[in-house]
Amino acid sequence: MKKITIFTLAIMILSACKKDIKEMPPGTPQESVVSKTTAVSAKINSPMKIDFYSTVNLQSPLLTCTLPGVPFAIANSGYFLHGTATHFGLINSETSMGQDGSCNLDGTTFILSTTTAGQIVAANGDKITYTGIDAIDLNNIIFNGGTTAAITGVWTITGGTGRFTDATGSFSISGTVNVATPGGPTFSITGEGTISY
């Protein structure tokens, strides 16, 4: 008789537990645990600032640009990046680099539109990759005989390695291009935006 009572009691407790699990309303502790686990794996969106200057990559190829109907070449379209960035500190200037891919000069506004792509590398080797679309205002050079031009653009983060694996985000850049630098143009830029990783 004692065994039957214990067995009956065990069945009642098991049934009560199953009923509680089936009828668990939204917002219960179990759902909170699931959403907390999901949040841990989610990327964190953080502000990002950059302060860079470039030097010429003498090994880079010529870049062919177009003025409507007239192609022309810009020497050494590749560059090395130097400076600092949020989440990176002082970047590795030997491996932080970019390469312009195309450019087009608007014959009316004298704005040179360029595409670029590259990587920004931290001291420990973790890096992000980026693509960019820039606009360089050549009016000062064309009409005033100057050697500098204003540059603005947006660089989009396309991935990364190490702690930046699958990074996303973008930042706006602005600064100055110096076309009189020996070997090819260089630039000095600052930028602000966001990074998620």
Domain boundaries, the chain: 2-40, 43-196
- Cα dihedral sign, 96-46-162-132: negative
pLDDT in tens, 27-71: 555 544 444 444 445 889 999 999 999 999 999 988 888 877 677
Q: How far is CA 60 from CA 24, 88, 164, 171, 184, in A?
A: 63, 25, 27, 25, 10
Distance CA 177, CA 11 (A): 79
Given 3.90.1720, 2.30.29, 2.40.160, 2.20.28, which CATH number is that of 43-196? Answer: 2.40.160
For the entire predicted model, the pTM comes to 0.77
Distance CA 178, CA 172 (A): 19
Lowest average pLDDT, out of 12-16, 66-70, 110-114, 121-125, goes to 12-16
